[in-house]
Homo-oligomer: A and B are copies of this chain.
Amino acid sequence: MPPTFDEIVEIDPEQTPAWLDLTALADTPFDLTISGALSPERVEEMKASAAGFSLLYATERVTKDVVDALSLLAGQTRAVDQFEMMMHGEVMNRVKGHESERRQVLHTASRDVFGAPSSEALRKSQAQLDRLKRFLAEADEEGRFTDLVQVGIGGSDLGPRALYLALQGYAKKGRRVHFVSNVDPDDAAQVLRGLDLSRTLVNVVSKSGTTLETLTNERLVAAQFTKAGLDPKEHFLAVTAEGSPMDNPARYRRSFHMYDYIGGRFSATSMVGGVALAFGLGCENFLGLLRGAREMDLNALEREPRKNLALLAALLGIWNRNFLGYPTVAILPYSQMLVRFVAHLQQLDMESNGKRINRRGEAVPYATGPIVWGEPGTNGQHAFYQLIHQSQTVIPCEFIGFRRSQMGEDMDVEGTTSQQKLLANLLAQAVALATGKSDENPNRVFPGNRPSSILIADKLTPSTLGALLAYYEHKVAFQGFLWNINSFDQEGVQLGKVLANKFLAHFKGDRKALGPAERALLKAAGL
């Protein structure tokens, strides 16, 4: 029988038998540096495949016993049950006994659009998608609009931007998408330069309809339209929650809805990403993205952790974070198209799991979400890999690769293609980090035993990108379930907002808005 929310919040992971086993196993983590450690049998065994991807984890510091214990931990914390509860509409976004958001968590509904809708959330997903298709068909027919500027920040920016950049090989001819996010006025000024506003749509995205940066940039951009003799209402679209202050169709050419059960950082496959992606890449490619995400969603229901890619990745991450004690994780895509994908994952992971209380409101005695960072390889090799290879700091690495390039414009130089060079480097790094190297010159010693995994698919397509996105969404959700934290709120952003408003009140002339410390800071800053 599936557990209730009240039951699962009582599961303290560090009290489970599996956690104790893992603590003991962590005294002697697998030594990757001994000769023969990376045996062909190990490499073959430590592999899982789903939704077009294979995850290779022979270069992690785990043994079969460790993976067994991690699998038990998943069972004892009811990880897959919790995932099912989430997908089925349980109110997972809450902290028991305390005021909290108390919302369902249904981003998976935004891509469950390929069958008959079995719930209100699915009906809404399909309705919004149909609305989008009709709008774009009209826009195609009208043929007027070549550019779209998405105005949004955080979840309304990073995911859609990362996905759009990742699929440039699928861009619709004559269409371009741009993004304005920062309240820094130079952001909008820079993006609007050189655009023909008469042929430009603006998509304003804010779930709450109250995001300071987004509303300010909406006004800033609208003023440019007015200045150019254009009516913003003819050009502006909105994506917002039903009933938000922005939910006012009279102000927009077209409005789309998002729902309070989809958090910003999980919203890329909803209309938050949909409008820009379908405009820039075509509806079919946006649907391809949804299909891939849906495939990975289904894999996350798999109960055997060794076959559930996102759960397996979550468990390996917990081994590195809680048992080997590493505070960060580097995500290193060997694809230049994924140039901003890590910035999205940084938000996804750190905003979700950068928490210190559990779902009963008690301080947790174990480490939670790591610092997530990274840049594409091979670029990173010429930048920060020095520290990863040779400093005392150990950084678990997650490599992402593709067998073929996206655009297929390649050539042979000195006997190999660029794609082969790219892949040779990816594989070489995983081996080098694991095995290390001794040397008489102490400056040429590589300690090795730096854990990594490789996630690989055939090609970065809309579908594999959707699967990759969902893989990380679920990895993050599984880790939150295992840590018994609420991955779906973000109370930590509130204090800064409150204090920023005090500074703004001061700028508006309220000389009592600030205390002496704030006034001293302003003065020291020359403001």
Is A76 an interface position by the 8 A CB rule? no
Is A522 an interface position by the 8 A CB rule? yes
B517 adjacent to A43 (CB under 8 Å): yes
Is A183 an interface position by the 8 A CB rule? yes
Q: Which residues of the partner chain B approach A376 to less than 8 Å between Cβ atoms?
A: 182, 184
Q: How far is the CB of A240 from chain B (nearest CB, A)?
A: 16
A98 adjacent to B443 (CB under 8 Å): yes
* Docked pose: A220 CA to B335 CA in angstroms: 17
Q: Which residues of the partner chain B approach A44 to less than 8 Å between Cβ atoms?
A: 520, 523-524
Q: How far is the CB of A400 from chain B (nearest CB, A)?
A: 12
Task: Out of B58, B356, B416, name the residue touching A507 (CB < 8 Å).
Answer: B416
A343 adjacent to B375 (CB under 8 Å): yes
A524 adjacent to B390 (CB under 8 Å): no
Is A424 an interface position by the 8 A CB rule? yes
Is A369 an interface position by the 8 A CB rule? yes
* Docked pose: A384 CA to B347 CA in angstroms: 5
Question: What's the tally of chain A residues with a CB closer than 8 Å to chain B?
Answer: 159
Task: Out of B356, B362, B367, B387, name the residue touching A492 (CB < 8 Å).
Answer: B387
Q: Which residues of the partner chain B approach A372 to less than 8 Å between Cβ atoms?
A: 384
A182/B378 contact (C-beta < 8 A), A356-B392, A391-B356 known: yes
Q: Which of A323-346 touch B at CB < 8 Å? A: 327-328, 334-337, 343, 346
Q: Which of A197-223 touch B at CB < 8 Å? A: 211-213, 215-217, 219-220, 223
Is A28 an interface position by the 8 A CB rule? no
Per-residue CB contact flags for chain A residues 268-300 toward chain B (1 = under 8 Å, else 0) read 000000000000000000000000000000000
Task: Out of B368, B385, B421, name the residue touching A392 (CB < 8 Å).
Answer: B368
A489/B425 contact (C-beta < 8 A), A215-B413, A335-B186, A405-B186 known: no
Closest residue on chain B to residue A180 by CB atoms: B336
B383 adjacent to A346 (CB under 8 Å): yes
Q: How far is the CB of A69 from chain B (nearest CB, A)?
A: 23
A496 adjacent to B390 (CB under 8 Å): no
A431/B517 contact (C-beta < 8 A), A383-B347, A403-B526, A421-B504 known: yes
* Docked pose: A372 CA to B373 CA in angstroms: 9
B190 adjacent to A168 (CB under 8 Å): yes
Per-residue CB contact flags for chain A residues 362-397 toward chain B (1 = under 8 Å, else 0) read 111001111111011111011111111111110100
Q: Which residues of the partner chain B approach A443 to less than 8 Å between Cβ atoms?
A: 95, 98, 100, 357, 361, 486, 489, 491
Is A304 an interface position by the 8 A CB rule? no
- Contacts A/B (CB < 8 Å), 23 sampled: A37-B517, A40-B520, A43-B517, A56-B525, A98-B442, A168-B186, A184-B336, A185-B405, A185-B418, A185-B422, A186-B405, A216-B418, A219-B411, A343-B375, A347-B384, A353-B391, A355-B386, A367-B393, A381-B496, A390-B491, A427-B522, A428-B500, A428-B503
